[in-house]
Amino acid sequence: MSDDERAIRELVDAWMDATREGDIETVLGLMTDDIVFMTPGGEPFGKEEFRERSAGMKSVRMDGTSDIREIRVLGDWAFIRNHIDLTATPAGGEPMHRSGYTLSILQKGADGRWRLARDANLVS
């Protein structure tokens, strides 16, 4: 495994851990400022809308797993094909289970750190 692949796997692990802990600031730090998220049935959105949506889910406990199926590194860009399995439990509510695939594009910054730049999320 290359250093870049290892760093990308660590990014995914850090994202999942921070999501589980409700640490939105860490999650935001793992993405580029010009990130674009694409989800079924909605318009693409960026970092600020992600922040706003996350703030509206503070009472929801998230838990899940990530199974990276493919990583390709192409210079300072990379993509990941990933299967996500999530359970979201609202405070006092019933758990909601979702699973599916994501296709993510990452960019290596001038600081040498990989960050999520584009994400097509098919988790439903």
pLDDT of amino acid 107: 98
Res 120 pLDDT > 80: yes
pTM above 0.85, yes or no: yes
For 1-114, where are the alpha helices, taking DSSP H only? 3-21, 24-29, 47-55
The share of the chain scoring above pLDDT 90, in percent, equals 91
Domains, the chain, in order of start with CATH, read 3-121 (3.10.450.50)
**Cα dihedral 11, 79, 74, 27 sign:** negative
Res 58 pLDDT > 90: no
Judged by phi (left if over 0) then psi (alpha if -120 to 50, else beta), residue 16 lies in alpha
pLDDT of amino acid 109: 97
Per-residue pLDDT reduced to its tens digit, 34-52: 999 999 999 999 999 999 9
